[in-house]
Amino acid sequence: MKYFDTHCHIDFSHFDRDREEVIKRAKDMGVVYIVDVGIDVETTKKAIELAEKYEFIYASAGIHPSEVNNSSENALNEMETLAKNKKVVAIGETGLDYHYSGIIKEKQKGFFKAQIEIARKLNLPLIIHQRESKEDLIKILEESDLPEKIVFHCFDGDEELEKYCEERGFYISFTGIVTFKNALKVKEVAKNYPVEKIMAETDAPFLSPHPFRGKRNEPMFVKYIIKEIAELKGVNLEKISEIIFTNSLHFFNLTPGVRSN
């Protein structure tokens, strides 16, 4: 079976001691593609460096809402320039996150709108992060000229947001949370959401799936997420793996071995 980890952060310091081994384990386990996702200018640069070193790794260029406070307006220009690299296949992760105190909501909104525009201008898909900000985020999406393809990463199981995504034809991506016994809402979404709009991600080093919960996550564990989705949908694992793999290729405009656009 072929796997595609559509969202991880193996450029993070969590992997400094054994990054090459982690990448090798993923490839040996059948992970055909990895997208390493930037959260600011520096991590985007590191993601691109990794992508240029390994043929099967690609990068996404973005400024995470939690990094907006520490980013200058010029960071958006830098990020747009970086996004023109041939190994960059998406913009993000971007979005809104109102969970922590001390945030500047208006600045988050401004950076989100700017990255939507960059994605549209460069004809790249958009990776969205949403946390406790649903109303404002939907409002911005409804008022914006959107890129062709959008994914809500690490989907949290919100029923209203699920309905909105389905109506708009957005993709949603599941992390190891879907394997947690108490994640009933997320499991319900995975069971019912149109299979042709589902992707899988590790979000490594975070959110390790069962039975590795509490340990550092890595791309090879994406298979446990797909296995859970197959069980929830009552569909053969090999079939689900192929569908999700094909979805991911389509979303990132990839064909085996080459960028399609």
Which pLDDT tens digit goes with each residue over 187-221? 999 999 999 999 999 999 999 999 999 999 999 99
Q: In which order are the strands placed within the sheet that holds 3-8?
A: 3-8, 31-37, 57-61, 88-97, 126-131, 150-152, 171-174, 198-200
Residue 253, pLDDT > 80, answer yes
Residue 259 has a pLDDT of: 47
- 239 — pLDDT class (breaks 50, 70, 90): very high
Residue 261, pLDDT > 80, answer no
What residue ranges define each of the domains in the chain, with the CATH number in brackets? 3-259 (3.20.20.140)
Residue 49 has a pLDDT of: 98
Tell me what the pLDDT averaged over the chain comes to.
Answer: 96
State what percent of residues in the chain have pLDDT above 90. 95
State what percent of residues in the chain have pLDDT above 70. 98
Residue 177 has a pLDDT of: 98
pTM of the model: 0.96
Which pLDDT tens digit goes with each residue over 78-114? 999 999 999 999 999 999 999 998 899 999 999 999 9
- 255 — pLDDT class (breaks 50, 70, 90): confident
Which pLDDT tens digit goes with each residue over 124-175? 999 999 999 999 999 999 999 999 999 999 999 999 999 999 999 999 999 9
Residue 258 has a pLDDT of: 45
Residue 260, pLDDT > 60, answer no
What's the CA gap between 77 and 171, in Å, rounded? 27
What's the CA gap between 110 and 251, in Å, rounded? 25
- 256 — pLDDT class (breaks 50, 70, 90): low
Residue 192 has a pLDDT of: 97
Angle at 100 between CA 104 and CA 91, to 5 degrees: 65
Residue 73 has a pLDDT of: 87
Of residues 32, 31, 37, the one with CA closest to residue 50: 37
Residue 96 has a pLDDT of: 98
Mean pLDDT of 116-130: 98
Which has the minimum average pLDDT: 42-51, 99-108, 243-252?
99-108
Q: DSSP string of 5-52?
A: EEEE-TTSGGGTTTHHHHHHHHHHTTEEEEEEEPSSHHHHHHHHHHHH
